[in-house]
Amino acid sequence: MGAPQAGIQQHDSGPHQGQGREQVKFAGKVHKAFVIFILFIRSIPGTPELDKKLPMKTPYWLLKGKKKGKKKKVGAEGCRATWIGHACVLAEVDGCTVLTDPVFSKRSSFVQWAGPKRYRPPGRQIPQLQPLFLIIFFLTACDVEQLPPKVDAVVISHTHYDHLDYNSVKQLNKRYGKKLHWFVPMDMGSWLCDNFGMGKQNVHELTWWQEKELPGSKVK
């Protein structure tokens, strides 16, 4: 009865005793993640530094006049690669033109008002219809309309947003249609056919270490 004896500590041994500690741990993790995010954002170089370290250049097929220099033909024999951005490359191999992981949108996301935003936007402005009928203008490294007239194939390595972009697939299919062959991961073919009306003869599913010849050529 009365005050507790000296030297004896009282503890709450109820069912919620450990919840407080877990909440503190969770809050600590959230704080740490937030700090890392802020440090990452602050580490992104400004435009002057990006212009110096990662300059954007006009693709050779778009150059005009003296800048064009010696005339180059897209899809000529030999091998040439033009980096468009991130994993997107226009590869020319023995007369065939192949586009890898095309992403021409402003963000790698399922919406264009949120998500990871590209660093370098040197292309022309392109209007894009958004939900609620808002038209947003953005810049891309090289938009679909600026690609060469002849693109034979698109290779999709995997289905992350920064390698598979819905709007880019839609624009490419609209421009090149049945002339374009798609080489994609397993189980992705039906998604392309159902959403964009592509013919099954133009969609080729492959898994690790498989290879397939591009129809009408000897390029694999």
For the record, the structure tokens of 159 come out as 């289905």
- The model's pLDDT over 36-87, given as tens digits with 9 standing for 90+, comes to 666 555 666 777 777 777 777 778 887 776 555 565 677 677 788 888 888 8
- Do residues 56 and 120 make contact, with C-beta atoms less than 8 angstroms apart? yes
The pLDDT confidence band at residue 31, using thresholds 50, 70 and 90, is low
99-108 in b/e form (b: 16+ CB < 10 A) is bbbbbbbbbb
Rounded distance between C-alpha atoms, residue 188 and residue 97, angstroms: 22
- Do residues 200 and 193 make contact, with C-beta atoms less than 8 angstroms apart? yes
The answer on pLDDT for 100 being more than 70 is yes
For the record, the structure tokens of 52 come out as 């110096």
Region 148-163: mean pLDDT is 93
Q: Which residue has the tokens 């270490």?
A: 209
The pLDDT confidence band at residue 28, using thresholds 50, 70 and 90, is low
- The model's pLDDT over 117-138, given as tens digits with 9 standing for 90+, comes to 777 654 554 444 455 445 444 4
Coil/strand/helix, residue 103? coil
The answer on pLDDT for 17 being more than 70 is no
Phi, psi at 112, each rounded to 5°? -100, 5
The answer on pLDDT for 143 being more than 90 is no
Rounded distance between C-alpha atoms, residue 14 and residue 148, angstroms: 71
Rounded distance between C-alpha atoms, residue 205 and residue 215, angstroms: 14
**Which whole-number Å values give the CA distances from 176 to 84, 150, 151, 210, in the listed order?**
18, 8, 8, 25
- The model's pLDDT over 170-217, given as tens digits with 9 standing for 90+, comes to 999 999 999 999 999 999 999 999 999 999 999 999 998 998 888 888
> Residues, the chain, total?
220
Closest CA to 179 of 195, 201, 147: 201
Rounded distance between C-alpha atoms, residue 203 and residue 187, angstroms: 11
pTM for the model stands at 0.69
Q: What is the pLDDT of residue 66?
A: 53
Between the two ends of the chain, the Cα-to-Cα distance in Å is 88
- Spell out the residues 6+ positions from residue 47 whose beta carbon is closer than 8 angstroms to its own: none
